[in-house]
Amino acid sequence: MGEESSMNMNENVASALCYVLTWLTGIIFYFLEKKNKTIRFHTLQSILAFLPLTILGWRFTGPLGISYPTGLSIFYYIGILIYVVTFVLWLILIIKAYQGEKLKLPVIGGIAEKHS
């Protein structure tokens, strides 16, 4: 399904792997992949989508989901909502990338495509 990557992987497999550990695998594949533009698109989209979502989730719930000393508040529930949205987005992007589809997220997808 598509071109080989500079890492000798199928394009769809490498694209899906860019999302497996969210922004972390995005960063790893960004530095490993040199020639395949589709995989580089997925690396950048993974970083640009999941790094801010992770930071926002941490900000609202505390690092690693530990709540603030004041107990549960509206901010904690916002953080949980961010984690749920992140999980659903993560699943969709992995599945679509493995199927060979280039699902372009609004704004982020354009930036990733421009710089891939």
Reported as a single tens digit per residue, the pLDDT across 38-60 is: 999 999 999 999 999 999 988 88
Per-residue pLDDT band at 71 (split at 50, 70, 90): low
Q: How many residues does the chain have?
A: 116
pLDDT of residue 74: 81
**Residues 92 and 19: beta-carbon distance below 8 Å:** no
Instruction: Give the pLDDT score at 68.
Output: 58
The 3-state DSSP class for residue 47 equals helix
pLDDT band at 89 (very low <50, low <70, confident <90, very high): very high
pLDDT at 95: 98
Mean pLDDT across 11-29 = 96
Model confidence band, residue 73 (pLDDT cutoffs 50, 70, 90): confident
Amino acid at 96: K
Domain ranges in the chain?
A: 11-115
